[in-house]
Amino acid sequence: MARLTARAVLFDLDGTLADSAPGLADATNDMLQARGLPALSLAALRPAVGSGARGMVGTAFGLHPGQDGYDALRDEFLDRYVHRLLDKTRLFDGIQALLDRLEAAGLAWGIVTNKAHRFADPMARALGLVPRTPVLVAGDSTPHTKPHPAPLLAAALQLAIEPAHCVYVGDDVRDIQAGRAAGMATAAAAWGYLGHGGRPEDWAADAVLAHPNALLQSLELA
């Protein structure tokens, strides 16, 4: 087990703290069914969850940013997702105990997500993550999104903790890239969605975590 040292732990939201895939999948299938198209399984959509609207539209309709028709589908997806945001969304097993232990050990923690604030804030509040943590950096909180390090650096600044004393935990290769660019230790959440970036063992993270308790083991808190 790789050993990590930190004064603070920062987490991605979707696929790391929260299992939000069902709501995203339902919003996507609402769009398909409105067009008389067959619904897609959660298993088919789950790997694209980390890419948000871009991933859902790409998987369901084969359109990507810059292509004709993409913007309209993206906007429709976001409008539908507002009504599905909290449907079936929950914390992953073990997350509550993980956060309890971090707090008991005196470690600060926060959330850094590419999800826009209008979605991230109500989700984090419904799950009891905010205001439990004062730090929620959303996808539109800084001029850049991950894999740019700016959101992570903003979170460290809010915590008043140097980036070198932070660990960033995420389930997508972009999370690891952002953490490394910010000068933080990184850990891949292998219980998450993992996207299309290959195996987390190949992401050059400092640790690959099979389950939330593995983070406590890496921090020598379990």
Question: What positions carry a catalytic annotation?
Answer: 12, 14
For every residue of 151-168, DSSP letters joined together read HHHHHHHHHT--GGGEEE
Q: Is the dihedral of CA 90, 126, 151, 20 positive or negative?
A: positive
State the Cα–Cα distance between residues 13 and 112, nearest whole angstrom.
7
Q: Which residue has the tokens 């903003």?
A: 154
Residue 178 tokens read as 């952002």
Q: How far is residue 54's CA from residue 61's CA, in Å, rounded to a whole number?
A: 10
Distance between alpha carbon 180 and the CA centroid of its chain, in Å?
16
From the list 173, 220, 179, 180, the residue with the least C-alpha distance to 201 is 173
Residue 189: its H or E element: strand 185-189
CA distance 128 to 138: 17
The span from the CA of 51 to the CA of 47, in Å, is 9
Half-sphere exposure of 2 (CA within 13 A, CB side): 16
